Structure 1
């Protein structure tokens, strides 16, 4: 099972579109459902396209009015904090600039703090997808043929547009592959398929390496001469050491005899001998200098390894520090930690309760992300430097071995070249030189045998290492495959259950939806089916696709193992001839799914058929647009002054005595016990739309013995609301505020 310290999160807080220096669109968005409504042709889809584009979508099919725009900015909330994106409206590959902070910061102050990220990744720089995924909390996953899943490919599953045929899950594009759709789907579901994909690639490579290493070793062993002798390096080294020791003894004896006969040596002979000696000394000096260079490079590599370890530890500490800061930041003091006096709670949450100074936790989280990305770049450069220096050391070691071999040969030639004769001492010298010649030849043979033995030993080591690597990767692939299959079944089961409930709650326009048992999503085939069937009316296909995407984000809100960013952009809720009542019903289902979310989600939808019951400030964005009041106002709009709902705390409902009494009776516990466990109430409909229940969201922990759902910290219980009027005095208006 994957470890999740927090769920993946992406939410749009504010969108600004510029035409030159003029703002032509500026609206704030909020958690949950965001409805952009207006007449057909008023520019709603253009706003959806801009959202897709600024979040990394590759898009250039702009409408005429959109082509007049030059820049789009988005302030987004991520798991790592608030960041601002800026992208110029040019090509589909236009880079994206990122500021690690809120949009309201002074433009002049942040002018030099924009970080520019390309759409395509490279070895030298992080791509926008890599930066966004790290902020949102999505792993960097490989796609097909060694490429990586990008923000564009993720957004294709999060953006349901009007151009794509209704049965397709992914936004349509001409160049698409099954492998990349499967990779995106598995990533969204939280399947470790990206790890399995990498492992399978490594496994295929390891199999080839093992086969190749085995073939080379067998061929080498077959071609060894029968009388080759031992191939053990230690035995060959000992034989060579014995020969060199004998060689040194004979050289010493020759030098002693020569010192006696030195006066008789011919001048030309002596000169040649001296030149040969000087050449040997030069070879020795060159070898010593190369040995010193290798030693120095080894020391530098040690230092680099220490620095790489430090950077890796720093990255780990940054993550831990960010998590710890988030945990500590949630502590609330009731008494001063110094004098123990009772503290007065400030009017808002933007000031410290102890020192009353203003603070912005979002800036702190964004700063952590900025430091983390900078450290990651240093780590990548350091690892590249380690690789380069390691290759340099290997090259110099090869050169050093060659020099040593050349020196041995030159020394053997030297001792065999200058033979003397003519006197007893010269005869002895000649005898010694003869033996030295034999030794020199034996040393040459030993050097050759050692090279063969080294190659043989290296081939055995390569074969053994390749076999070990293959076995480890094979075991890892089998384990990951089993884990991935189990996770995929579990996640798709949750999505199917949620989608089935949505279809059951649809208006009775498609009989198969009302009795649906299984809703299946197939990312590879880019399709969704109901009980194996995909042949429905066009408007029903729209409902089915949107139900699947809605169920996907809903399931992600209830299961932290999803890597889904808990974000959905819908521009087709009334596509393909959708009737008014059915569109209104589906809008209600979207709101119900958002209210049932356990972890935060955001759904942005456009509609020309707004449901009047949903005309509420916490559900709509901007005015109702028309041809006279389009989304893009080229006369200019002022900066948005709408309150930031992300910064507001949702007040707990007034749990008066009547409500406490009702809930305690429904749960079968006493009122005093219930009063010690704060909660608030949400209303939701069952799948068949016949039974309405109250969901009690426990703020801290539930009372002992009460049936609960969810995980610790995100638990709820369900009760039936009063239906006999006996508790009519209870004010439940907070359910609809």
Structure 2
């Protein structure tokens, strides 16, 4: 898999500058006093790789003043990624990063504005052969970023050691710092099978999302079809609709031929007389229909008025019940043990009224209700109001439909009356205008039908296209699910094997650092350290526990280059976090053990340390000048 090697880092602004020494393969040590800028170097490397650095954010309360107050400042690194050399330049206060290789210069956004935009992290992960996968946690969706994986690559001082993972930018946020996300980071760095597994999960969720969109569009087309009267989208085929269009076109052609013949033919008054008779008969039918619609409309108006009256009465009852409940709560007036005149509490003998007369308790109680009973009555009444509102809406819908039908038939009435009058004129003038106009009306209706059918045909075409896409997605989902099950089995087998290997290496690195540590491993579920089966609690060992965790990741990636971990560690030595010098030196001495039996330099560690706060044999790994408070990392320009 891919590998990162930092070759050189340059910082420059209007006021300060810094140029690092050449970093080599293997171990590189930058030494300096506390407060001389060692952590600044680590943060500049992190920043140059597109990560968020809190100390460089002027909105924070604790910032690196020289960098935050500098102007026109940038950081540039010369880097090798999987053997390919690049220059990466990032300006402060900018969301853009520039990359130069042998052929061209590219630029990318750093922070992702939306999911479909390629950002610098995507480019970097691609160069490292790590897929950019999407994760779904409940309704939240996120993409894997290099900054996520960097939490197990950069050992910083700010993170509490027992947390192991470097703090995320939004530490404590459910998405970025969830247990799920921490497990994903470990799995992606330790197992190439998980890269494929999470990639397939991303593809599965994308396909599900696309299917959901298509289903919504399908439902939209069905709704649109119903609105325009095309209610048979699932029943009729495209060929059947095309045949209907062809039939209408044929009818239109015949009517046009008849119209031409009428324009050329002799006058036929008897036919006109018969036509007028038919039109008069149609007029009577239309008038009867109009009368029927008017009666139905009047009945609906009365029904709506009655429902509204009932609704108003129930609303008044609701208001009254609310007042009763309020009064009942505040004054406690309504009780079978209260005198109706003076409202005094009386001692009532069971089975008797307050006047002394014998009564049935069940009948007596029905005149008095508890607050809960009144609330039940209130809910029932309010539900009745909702039901009546639905009834009014239903009546209004029916009313609108009837009024539309009435309007259409009133237009037909006017049109028919006009045709009758024109027919009478035809008889008087011995012409056939009425027949021609009748044909023209038929032609107009058929043309309207053809337009409607053509629209229906287009809707059906789009509907069929969506159905086809849904079928393709269903097949894709089915295939992904099959692959996913196999990948999941492979990934689980691989990670179980990696956890065992990790625990063996981790144990060998950690047990002789501190007296009392007899066994060290990581648990199979959360991949977090377990020392002496969970019994060891001494706080001073927290730093070595975390440091050896990072070193184990690197050692495993050196032994197996198929592991995605990029064979690079950035370590800001934790000399001020409660670790004693002996444990720190023992921990650092373990760095030379990562190469195994045969020496290799196919990795890189950049480590900051106090002056001479490392094993003597590490002196050859020191790079560049020593840093002092009087001669810090960032040098002021003269």
SS of residue in 2 equivalent to 1:470: helix
SS of residue in 2 equivalent to 1:28: coil
Pick one of 484, 501, 516 that aligns with 2:520: 516
- Aligned partners of 1:512, 1:58: CA distance in 2, in Å? 38
TM-score normalised per structure 2: 0.60
Structure 1 stretches of 5 or more lacking a match?
Answer: 1-6, 103-112, 263-412, 637-737
SS of residue in 1 equivalent to 2:157: coil
- Aligned partners of 1:435, 1:635: CA distance in 2, in Å? 96
- Aligned partners of 1:512, 1:478: CA distance in 2, in Å? 49
Aligned partner of 1:54 in structure 2 is 48
8 Å contact from structure 1 (residues 503, 547) kept in 2: no
- After superposition, residues 327-346 of structure 1 pair within 5 angstroms as none
Pick one of 503, 510, 514 that aligns with 2:507: 503
- Aligned partners of 2:233, 2:505: CA distance in 1, in Å? 78
Q: Which has the higher contact order (CA 8 A, sep 6+)?
A: 2
SS of residue in 2 equivalent to 1:605: strand
- Aligned partners of 2:233, 2:574: CA distance in 1, in Å? 81
Pick one of 245, 248, 256 that aligns with 2:253: 248
Correspondence 1:147 to 2:142: yes
- Aligned partners of 2:20, 2:498: CA distance in 1, in Å? 37
8 Å contact from structure 1 (residues 15, 26) kept in 2: yes
Q: After superposition, what is the alpha-carbon deviation per residue over 1:279-331, rounded to whole angstroms, capped at 9, x for unaligned?
A: xxxxxxxxxxxxxxxxxxxxxxxxxxxxxxxxxxxxxxxxxxxxxxxxxxxxx
Distance 1:241 1:126, change over 3 A: closer
Q: After superposition, what is the alpha-carbon deviation per residue over 1:322-371, rounded to whole angstroms, capped at 9, x for unaligned?
A: xxxxxxxxxxxxxxxxxxxxxxxxxxxxxxxxxxxxxxxxxxxxxxxxxx
8 Å contact from structure 1 (residues 209, 466) kept in 2: no
SS of residue in 1 equivalent to 2:497: helix
- Aligned partners of 2:253, 2:189: CA distance in 1, in Å? 73
- Aligned partners of 2:570, 2:204: CA distance in 1, in Å? 34
8 Å contact from structure 1 (residues 24, 635) kept in 2: no
8 Å contact from structure 1 (residues 158, 567) kept in 2: yes
8 Å contact from structure 1 (residues 95, 117) kept in 2: yes
Aligned partner of 1:547 in structure 2 is 548
8 Å contact from structure 1 (residues 569, 605) kept in 2: yes
Correspondence 1:473 to 2:477: yes
- Cα drift, residue 626 of structure 1: 3.7
- Cα drift, residue 58 of structure 1: 0.8
Correspondence 1:35 to 2:40: no
The alignment covers a number of residue pairs equal to 460
Correspondence 1:120 to 2:118: no
Aligned partner of 1:199 in structure 2 is 203
Distance 1:240 1:122, change over 3 A: same
8 Å contact from structure 2 (residues 3, 567) kept in 1: yes
Q: After superposition, what is the alpha-carbon deviation per residue over 1:388-435, rounded to whole angstroms, capped at 9, x for unaligned?
A: xxxxxxxxxxxxxxxxxxxxxxxxx9xx999995699954x7556545
Distance 1:60 1:205, change over 3 A: closer
8 Å contact from structure 1 (residues 77, 83) kept in 2: yes
Aligned partner of 1:607 in structure 2 is 609
TM-score normalised per structure 1: 0.53
8 Å contact from structure 1 (residues 202, 473) kept in 2: no
- Aligned partners of 2:502, 2:150: CA distance in 1, in Å? 21
Correspondence 1:16 to 2:10: yes
- Cα drift, residue 253 of structure 1: 4.9
Aligned partner of 1:727 in structure 2 is none
Correspondence 1:129 to 2:121: yes
Q: Which has the larger radius of gyration?
A: 2
Aligned partner of 1:631 in structure 2 is 633
Single out whichever of 242-251 and 538-547 deviates more from structure 2: 242-251
- Aligned partners of 2:429, 2:634: CA distance in 1, in Å? 112
- After superposition, residues 517-536 of structure 1 pair within 5 angstroms as 518=522, 522=526, 527-530=528-531, 533=534, 536=537
- Aligned partners of 2:255, 2:602: CA distance in 1, in Å? 87
8 Å contact from structure 1 (residues 42, 629) kept in 2: yes
- Aligned partners of 2:74, 2:447: CA distance in 1, in Å? 76
8 Å contact from structure 1 (residues 74, 84) kept in 2: yes
8 Å contact from structure 2 (residues 26, 605) kept in 1: yes
- Cα drift, residue 30 of structure 1: 0.5
Correspondence 1:170 to 2:165: yes
Distance 1:243 1:148, change over 3 A: closer
- Cα drift, residue 555 of structure 1: 2.0
- Aligned partners of 2:475, 2:214: CA distance in 1, in Å? 10
Aligned partner of 2:593 in structure 1 is 592
Aligned partner of 1:310 in structure 2 is none
Aligned partner of 1:285 in structure 2 is none
Distance 1:493 1:235, change over 3 A: closer
Structure 2 stretches of 5 or more lacking a match?
Answer: 56-62, 268-414
Correspondence 1:490 to 2:494: yes
- Aligned partners of 1:557, 1:435: CA distance in 2, in Å? 89
- Cα drift, residue 476 of structure 1: 0.7
Pick one of 79, 84, 89 that aligns with 2:87: 84
- Cα drift, residue 513 of structure 1: 4.4
- Aligned partners of 2:491, 2:236: CA distance in 1, in Å? 52
- Cα drift, residue 558 of structure 1: 3.4
